[in-house]
Amino acid sequence: MRHFLNINAIELDDVLDLVHRALAIKAGRSVIQSNLTVTNLFFENSTRTHSSFQMAENRLGYQQIDIDPQQSSMSKGESLTDTLKTLKAIGVDVAVIRHTVNNWYDQVLTATGHEIPHLINAGDGSGQHPSQSLLDLVTIYEQFNHFAGLNIRIVGDLAHSRVARSNAEILHHLGANMTFSGPKDWQPNDFGKFGQFVAIDDDWENLDVVIFLRVQHERITQTENQNFSTKQYHEQFGLNRARYERLKAAAIIMHPAPVNRDVEIADELVEAPKSRIFEQMNNGVYARMAILEYTTEATYATH
Ligand code: CP
């Protein structure tokens, strides 16, 4: 049974197929209406991922059962695995899950006994965010038509960002030249496998894509939060007018959002011409339609 849990565990050809599928749907490729049922199970707050999965499901004709984990029997101690077996028994085909725990799916996949729905990871703790990663790939490919040789920098809270973790690895495997900048305390050692840590302004004029990351106040320690200065962070690691102007004309700026305006990106630059932040959100719907087709191995219309 196919799941969509970690974009870096998928064959590169399949990743590229997903990018092309999403762009084909965006360009107007017709979709076959599904008779499947999906549940969206969000243990963490979300605006973009939750609503764009709902939109993607609506456009593909899915029946939706939205479950609030707080209102479910998980609040009485039922495990996620038993919840998923229950939902499958009731007739749910696909479960889209955002969870606070990294790799929440490992335990579910090792459980035996009954079937579970197709699983789609909508973000696990500080682990992976594969659907965000796909929509980021779609946005980059839409701009450049390739990944190999692009100079891509990810800036900010690398340690706590599942977006950074997913993107650093997949973009490296797709041939992009990855570099990373951010506060020293938020530089995970394992990112060295995918690229170099550099000063933010290093080789700035040659960058094609700069991905800024949200400072994840909910995942950093109380001491880090107490010592955090918005002004200082913005000066050191934020996108200001001077940095914006130094980027080449064809360069693009991305951010998974929500954006802390005037922290990662100056308020006036969030909607600037080089920014693709709202296009990323738009592409999220097409990326998630492609993910639903891929995961359920749905046949799709080619015209
Ligand atoms: N980018 C992202 O995952 O946003 P949400 O938390 O609003 O889904």
One domain, residues 189 and 265: yes
Structure letter (DSSP) for residue 248: -
Residue 301 domain-assigned?
no
Give this prediction's pTM: 0.96
Whether residue 137 sits in one domain with residue 120: no
Question: Which burial class, exposed, middle or buried, applies to 129 when counting CB atoms under 10 A from its CB (0-12, 13-18, 19+)?
Answer: buried
In a shared domain, residues 116 and 143: no
The closest residue, in CA terms, to atom 4 on ligand 1 is: 48
217 within domain boundaries:
yes
Structure-token match 């077996």, residue found: 85
Q: Are residues 12 and 105 in the same domain?
A: yes
Q: What are phi and psi of 128, to 5 degrees?
A: -135, 155
Counted domains in the chain: 2
**Residue 85 and residue 137 share a domain:** no
Would residue 267 count as lying in a domain? yes
Residue 137, in any domain of the structure: yes
Q: How remote is the CA of residue 45 from the centroid of ligand 1, in Å?
A: 8
Domain region containing 244? 130-277
Do 169 and 267 belong together in one domain?
A: yes
Nearest to 131 by CA among 54, 209, 34, 218: 54
Q: What angle do CA 276, 282, 285 make, to 5 degrees?
A: 140
Question: Which atom of ligand 1 is nearest the CA belonging to 44?
Answer: 6
Place of tokens 């799916």: 105
Residue 88 CA to its chain's centroid (Å): 26
CA 52 to ligand 1 center in whole angstroms: 10
Preceding amide of 130 cis, omega within 30: no
Residue in 121, 176, 161 with CA at minimum distance from that of residue 10 = 121
Which residue's CA is the nearest one to ligand 1's atom 6? Answer: 46
Q: How far is the CA of 44 from the centre of ligand 1 (A)?
A: 10
Buried b (16+ CB within 10 A) or exposed e, 62-91: beeeebebeeeebeeeeebbbbbbebbeee
Residue 142 forms part of a structural domain: yes
In the prediction, which pLDDT does 49 show? 98
pLDDT at residue 300 in the model: 65
Name residues of the chain where pLDDT drops below 70. 299-303
Ligand 1 atom 1, closest CA:
256
Q: Is residue 2 part of a domain?
A: no
Q: Does one domain contain both 115 and 142?
A: no
- Ligand 1: list residues with CB < 6 Å: 46-49, 123, 132, 256-258
Measured between alpha carbons, how far is 48 from 46 in angstroms, rounded to an integer? 6
Same domain assignment for residues 122 and 135:
no
pLDDT digits (tens, 9 = 90+) for 259-300: 999 999 999 999 999 999 999 999 999 999 999 999 998 766
Residue 303 in any domain: the answer is no
The string of DSSP codes covering 115-184 is ---EEEEEEETTS--HHHHHHHHHHHHHHHS--TT-EEEEES-TTT-HHHHHHHHHHHHTT-EEEEES-G
Q: How far apart are CA 256 and CA 232, in angstroms?
A: 22
Which residue minimizes the CA distance to atom 3 of ligand 1? 49
**117 in the same domain as 236:** no
Place of tokens 């900010």: 156
Query: What local confidence, expressed as pLDDT, does residue 303 receive?
Result: 45
Q: What are residue 104's phi and psi, to 5 degrees?
A: -55, -25
Within 10 A of 108 (CB to CB), how many other CB atoms are there?
Answer: 21
Q: Are residues 92 and 156 in the same domain?
A: no
Best residue among 40, 41, 49 to mutate for probing ligand 1, ranked by most atoms within 8 Å of CB: 49
- For the chain, the first-to-last Cα distance in angstroms comes to 27
220 and 291 together in one domain: no
In a domain, 55, yes or no: yes
Ligand 1 centroid to 46 CA: how many Å?
A: 5
Residues 119 and 98 reside in one and the same domain: yes
Look at residue 216 in the predicted model and tell me its pLDDT: 83
Dist. CA 129 → ligand 1 center (Å): 9
Top mutation candidate among 7, 44, 132, 138 for ligand 1, by most atoms within 8 Å of CB = 132
CATH of residue 52: 3.40.50.1370
